Amino acid sequence: MLVVSTFIPDQQELVERLKIHFPAVTFSFYENIDLVPSEEWTAAEVLITYGEDLKPHHIHDASALRWIMVTSAGMELMPLKELDERNILVTNAKGIHKIPMAEYTLAMMLQTARNTKRLIASEIEGKWDRNTPISELNGRTLTILGAGSIGGEIARLASAFSMRILGVNSSGRGVPFIDEMYTLNELDIVFPQSDYVVSVLPSTIETRRLLKEKHFSLMKNSAVFINVGRGDLVDEKMMMHALEHGEIAHAVLDVFEVEPLPQDHPFWKMENVTVTPHLSSRTKGYQPRALEIFQHNLQVYLQGGSDYQNIINVKRGY
C-alpha cells in the first residue's frame, strides 16, 4: 500500500518510526502535491497533508485514494464537495493544538497586562520608566469564543490566575474550568463583561464574519481581543476602525484574512496591535502529536476497523 505525504517531518526519527511500525506500507514524501509523480498519485491509497495544497482536480486524478489525514485542524481549504462525492474518509489532527495554543494565549495576555511592548521599547532606548502602566490577570474576566478542546485548556491555565471565565460555543454545553457558558447567539451578553476576548473558532458558515461592528462597541475600551482561530471571523477594516477609535485597547492577531499578512498592512505599525505569523500552534511537539493520531488511524485502517480518531463530516466541514 502506498501512502503519499506532503507533510514532511522535521525529525527523521519520526519518518523512521513510521517505517518500523508499518513495514508493509510504502511512504513517499514530497514538499508539494504537484511534485508527486502521476503514477504514484494514481496509486496512492492514503494522503497525509496540511490541507492547504489539495485541489478538486487532484481528487479526480487520485483513483485509488481512500483516506486523507489532515495534520491540522482547519478544513476550510479542502475540496470538501469532491471528497464527499468520492466518499473519501477524512481525519484531522484536532486536539493536538491545545497545549501550544493555550500557552501562546496566556503568554499574550500576560504581555498585554504587563505592557511588555512598551517595556521592550524602553529597554532598547535605555529609558528607565517606572511609570509604565502595569495590570494583572487576577480577577479579570476572560471570554473564550470556541469553548472546546483548545478553549478548555486556555480556561484551565487562566483559572490558575484566578480569572473569571466565560465560554461560548454552538451548544452552550458546559466545559471544565469555565464558570459560565453561553451560545453564539448571546455575544451581546458576554462582551460588555469581558476584559479579554479570545477566539479559537474555526472557519465555518456560522463563524465567517461573525463579529460585527456592534460587538466591538459592546466591549470595554480597555478590552484585549486575541484571535488564534481564523482570520475570516471579522472584517479587518472594521476591526481597525475599532482599534483606531479606542473601542478596544489592544488586539493580538495570529490569523488574518490574507496570509502572509502583506508588508504594507497597517497592522504592522499600529502600537495597539500585536502581529504574529500564524504560529500559535507550532512547537516541536506539533509533528509528533499529529503523527500519533495518524499511526493510530493507520492501524485501524489496515485492520479494517472503525475506531478512527477525529473523523471529519465533509458535508459540514468539521
| Catalytic-residue membership of 215 | no
CA distance 142 to 158: 8
- Catalytic: which of 85, 136, 206, 259? 259
Q: Which of 76, 6, 146, 49 is nearest to 314 (CA)?
A: 76
Q: How far is CA 306 from CA 42, 76, 301, 310, in A?
A: 25, 25, 8, 11
Active-site residue (options: 17, 278, 282, 296)? 278
- Taking the C-alpha atoms of residue 186 and residue 31, their distance in angstroms, rounded to an integer, is 44
β strands within the chain, DSSP E: 2-5, 26-29, 46-49, 67-70, 89-92, 141-145, 164-169, 180-183, 196-199, 224-227, 250-253, 273-275
Judged by DSSP in three states, 145 sits in: strand
Per the annotation, the verdict on 230 as an active-site residue is yes
**Nine cell digits for residue 217:** 462597541
Q: Are 104 and 127 in contact (CB under 8 A)?
A: no
> Which residue among 215, 230, 250, 289 is the active-site one?
230
Q: Is residue 278 among the annotated active site residues?
A: yes
Active-site amino acid positions:
230, 259, 278
